[in-house]
Structure 1
Amino acid sequence: MSAPSPQLPLALRYPPDQRLDTFVANDPALMPQLRDFALAGARRALYVAGPAGTGKTHLAIALCAQAEQLGRSAVYLPLRSLAGRVRAAAEALQGHDLVAVDGLDAIAGDRDDEIALFDLHNRLHDAGRSVFYTADQPPEALALTLPDLRSRLAQSVRVALAPLDDTGRHTLLRLRAERRGLQVDAATIDWLLRRVDRDLPALTALLDRLDRASLASQRRLTVPFVRQVLAEAS
């Protein structure tokens, strides 16, 4: 009996916080480039590299959501959960205009997965489709065993992400709070950034917790209220 095909995320499951308009970039030229890619895939392959916590997964999901809003078919391929099963997942991707391949580091060194990804890249290229890659490092620094895959990845248009500074983190929290309908002033955001883990996944998880607490108590996110929520969780 053949193994069941991997479950691939649907557009309706894309988290609403992870959109292009809630991504904060150090480089102001990045967002127009990404919107252009989502709209028409003018660059067939786009490769984003950056350390953990710089928002690579956010961008991969946001691009899929943006492309589908523009009438293109898109699918998100999370390699960290598909390691060892990339061929089965790739074979299920027929007819999509954009494929977002997130986390190349997870399959580097697995020759079967690398060959499957190489074949997927070639199929998408030959069909005029778009492919978006994310990784912690540029292609030449990945521990790949397949030179042909490294060569294909190296031909992609490349973008490097850097961690946000405090101004960028402040803007990110403000935008995400506004999207959720949360009322939070600048002083409260500054207070949070001085006292919590500053990487993006941790900040997002914290905002989730504060959102639930604010809804349950019907209170605004003020410094005293946030201090109380954090104390109760410690």
Structure 2
Amino acid sequence: MVDEQLPKQISLDVDLPDEQTFDSLVVGDNSLIYQHCGLLVEQSESTELPFLTYISGGAGTGKSHLLVAMSHNAAQQQKSHFYLALDATLPYPHTILDGMENIQLLCIDNIQHIQHSKDWQRALFDLINRIRETQVCKLVVSCDRGPKQLQFELADLVSRLAWGISFSLTPLDNLDACEALNIKAKQRGISISRESLQFLISHAKRDMHSLVAALDELQFQGIQEKRKISIPFIKQVLDL
């Protein structure tokens, strides 16, 4: 349900990746974080839970997947939600944050990209203040580093980001990474053995973004050459 106070120009009908759910997350050593995030959606009205959650982690550790999964859960529970993915181009005006304090779950992905925009920093700073005052919204932000490592022109924003609870995602070990990649392969209809997946994880770039990109390339070349994805084929296509 969308709050009537929300700016009318903002649509909450965001196209989220269907496959990025809690069911397709491989927990690894991140069970505490996932439990917190699940509880945050289920009990978004609770004032006992922190209104701000800060999640850090390197590329491919699952930050975006987690925030999207939370948004899916909020939609299933008919709670107002918004997922905002930032990148280096900052394609949205900072004014998109106006009125967002009235949303029950707000997920802002990759805030490291606002380091060189004082307007965005001020907008986020003001939003956090409004959220703390209204106590309606649960804000979840992700970043590739901890708040103290961010180079904000607006130094006070760092202290605001420390008002909530912080987590750091731990990369998956080889066994869990194999399970995560196996899920990705099944979602794409790719037939590949566990042995081949283990070889790919051991020899290609280790982060999940790179592994999934490699999997997509193997699928494409396999279709083009009408070949099964095997270890020799992986070596050939990825020049390993």
Do Structure 1 and Structure 2 share a fold, with TM-score over 0.5?
yes
Distance 1:229 1:6 in 2: 46
Give the structure 1 partner of residue 39 of structure 2: 36
Question: Aligned pair in 2 of structure 1 residues 95, 207: CA closer, same or farther (>3 Å)?
Answer: farther
**Residue 145 of structure 1 aligns with which residue?**
153
Name the residue aligned to 2:20: 18
CA distance 1:9–1:166, change in 2 (3 Å): farther
TM-score w.r.t. structure 1 length?
A: 0.80
RMSD: 3.1
SS of 2:203's equivalent in the other structure is: coil
Residue aligning to 2:188: 180
Between the aligned partners of 1:123 and 1:211, the Cα distance in structure 2 is 47
TM superposition outliers: structure 1 runs of 4+ over 6 Å: 5-9, 215-219
Letter in 2 for 1:71: Q
Q: Which residue of 2 aligns with 1:73?
A: 80
Contact 1:8–1:76 (CA<8 Å) still a contact in 2?
no
CA distance in 2: counterparts of 1:98 and 1:87, whole angstroms: 18
Indicate the residue corresponding to 1:98 in structure 2: 105
Deviation at 1:219, TM superposition (A): 6.8
Deviation of 1:158 after TM superposition, in Å, equals 0.8
1:62 counterpart SS class: helix
Q: Give the match for residue 5 of structure 2.
A: none
**Aligned pair in 2 of structure 1 residues 84, 214: CA closer, same or farther (>3 Å)?**
closer
Question: Is it true that 1:83 corresponds to 2:90 in the alignment?
Answer: yes
Aligned with 1:187: secondary structure? Answer: helix
Going from structure 1 to structure 2, the CA distance change for 1:72 and 1:162 (only over 3 Å counts) comes to same
User: Partner of 2:205 in structure 1?
Assistant: 197
The change in CA–CA distance for 1:110 and 1:228 in structure 2 (over 3 A counts) is closer
Residues 91-133 of structure 1, C-alpha deviations (whole Å, 9 max, x = no match): 2747422111111211124322111011222233314211101
Residues 66 and 130 (structure 1 numbering): CA distance in 2 closer, same or farther, change over 3 Å?
same
CA distance in structure 2 between the partners assigned to 1:147 and 1:94 by the alignment: 22
| Counterpart AA for 2:121 | E
Separation (CA, whole Å) in 1 of partners of 2:9 and 2:171: 32
Conserved 8 A contact 1:109-1:145:
yes
Q: Report the TM-score, using the length of structure 2 for normalisation.
A: 0.79
**1:89, distance to aligned residue in structure 2 (A):** 1.6
- Residue ranges of structure 1 left out of the alignment (5+ in a row): none
**CA offsets, 1:42-74, max 9 Å, x none?**
432110012223222222222222221222222
Shift of 1:157: 1.0
CA offsets 1:160-207 (integer angstroms, 9 cap, x no match): 113322222112101222333433321111121233222111112223
Pick aligned residue for 1:47 from 49, 54, 60 = 54
| Superposed counterparts of 1:191-230, under 5 Å | 191-212=199-220, 221-224=229-232, 226-227=234-235, 230=238
Equivalent position SS for 2:60: coil
- AA paired with 2:123? A
Shift of 1:10: 4.1
Quick check: which one's helix share is greater? 1
